[in-house]
Structure 1
């Protein structure tokens, strides 16, 4: 499910690369669909493909470092009206095909190579990066967790451009950051939010966030299992975070759906 290089050539000292022809990015489809959420069975299909791709990349000792909806391309962007799809806005569009390709390996880093201090696009950046603790394969898993929540809600989970505000948002959504991580960080064991420079707008925005459980609202078995998977991905301690291979064995991926997105019960 990763992008495939078909050919490359030199054109007047410019290296040109040829890839398979793909559709728009998942982000662009969300935008086209007015940021309406994806149905849960499509999220399941996306998640399985993303995790399979990332597991493959990690087994090559490579860390992607820039996973986000813009870097996930649809193989085919064709869609239709939602119709009777379970949980879908009747005005929304539903993809005909959920096959995807993971792209943009320009920031990918081998585990043994030099690691710059800051990687990942802000909204999908793991806490260990923000805290200056170094990073490895688990930072990709955190990014996937953020992406999957975005697929469910239609909007980025952590919309911020400030480190302290970002960490404060995490605390509201996921609970307190373990003291041992703060002590091991470059923050001298202290994280003060709000501080004297914090705007009232920032305070209100952070206070308005909801717990992850309230965001997912697990009213079905699929949503319950999805929430459980997310809580294992969005773990503060990178050493305790689930791996891509482990995530693929989660019960969320054992659930079957019919063509309308209804869960099929096993008897």
Structure 2
């Protein structure tokens, strides 16, 4: 889903702020991608209250199901699939101006001063120095944020994921 420019800027600004803190602590995230940027629901609700609100919503708005599939060669029982169900806005403003994001998954984080050669970033977010086999550091996180900025606005990857081409990427 493509985001409006103001929303994309908000997401990128907050991601860069999180990275600045991480980099100031002497670490490279090394796995910046859209899956590692999470939205925090606004409001002063605590986790238990929010969980209760979501549970209540699901109970009062049950999910619909598709017509059951019958595949006797696979299973004698009908296969029931559930349609996706949108949750309520949970106090998010329609323009998402109160969106608050968090950077997660520090499992690939490495000390910034270390000579980093291991390439763990997804290929679509990999910086040129990593592709060329050189050591990399905190700028590789910034490169990945630039790739994410493009993806947030354009709704597709800047670089192809299926047929990765080193020369094109560089």
TM-score bracket for this pair, using the shorter chain length: 0.5 to 0.7
Superposed CA RMSD: 2.3
Give me the whole-angstrom Cα distance separating, in 1, the residues matched to 2:36 and 2:88: 18
Rounded Cα–Cα distance in structure 2 between residues aligned with 1:134 and 1:162: 24
Provide Cα deviations, 1:144-189, integer angstroms capped at 9, x if missing partner: 00000000011111123555x1431x3xxxxxx6xxxxxxxxxxxx
Q: How does 1:1-267 map to 2 (within 5 A)?
A: 35=1, 37-76=2-41, 79=89, 95=96, 97-113=98-114, 115-161=116-162, 163=164, 165-168=165-168, 170=169
TM-score by length of 2: 0.64
TM-score by structure 1 length?
A: 0.42
Q: CA deviation at 1:119?
A: 2.3
Greater C-alpha Rg = 2
User: Runs of at least 4 residues of structure 1 off by over 3 A?
Assistant: 77-80, 93-97
Query: What is the aligned length?
Result: 122
Deviates further, 105-114 or 121-130: 105-114
CA distance in 1, matches of 2:107, 2:88: 28
- Answer 1 or 2: which has greater strand percent: 1
Native 8 Å contact 1:79 1:94 kept in 2 = no
Unpaired stretches in structure 1, ≥5 consecutive residues = 1-34, 81-92, 171-176, 178-267
CA 1:131–1:72 in structure 2 vs 1: closer, same or farther (change >3 Å)?
A: same
Kept in 1, the 8 Å contact 2:32–2:144? The answer is yes
